[in-house]
Amino acid sequence: MLQHEDGLAGLLDETIAALAGGDGERLEGLQVRVAAIAPGFESGQVRADTLAKRDVLEALLRGSRLNLDLLRRLQGGEARDRWER
């Protein structure tokens, strides 16, 4: 359990760094690695720092979603058409 959790915590760290840096290729590799450890992950106590990393990733994902929406709106044809009218 401990080894699995250490591995998961490390993967969360890597995911946070890759997402903050917009590294899609690295994230796809991480996705495969996380999926690989999932079957062996056992129920039990989870450390607070692992949960904290999960929360950081969740916050970052929501921030990413908002940023993407903003970027799309700025880049999108709708705004450009209006400005060029």
Catalog residues that contact other proteins under the rule CB under 8 A.
8, 11-12, 15-16, 18-24, 27-28, 30-31, 34-35, 38, 41-52, 54-75, 79-80, 82-84
User: Judged by CB, which is closer to other proteins: 6, or 62?
Assistant: 62
From 26, 28, 12, select the one nearest 60 (Cα to Cα): 12
- In the complex, the smallest distance separating the C-beta of residue 6 from other proteins, rounded to whole angstroms, is 14
- In the complex, the smallest distance separating the C-beta of residue 36 from other proteins, rounded to whole angstroms, is 10
Taking the C-alpha atoms of residue 38 and residue 56, their distance in angstroms, rounded to an integer, is 20
- In the complex, the smallest distance separating the C-beta of residue 3 from other proteins, rounded to whole angstroms, is 14
Taking the C-alpha atoms of residue 14 and residue 12, their distance in angstroms, rounded to an integer, is 5
DSSP H helices in 1-85 = 2-20, 24-37, 48-75, 77-84
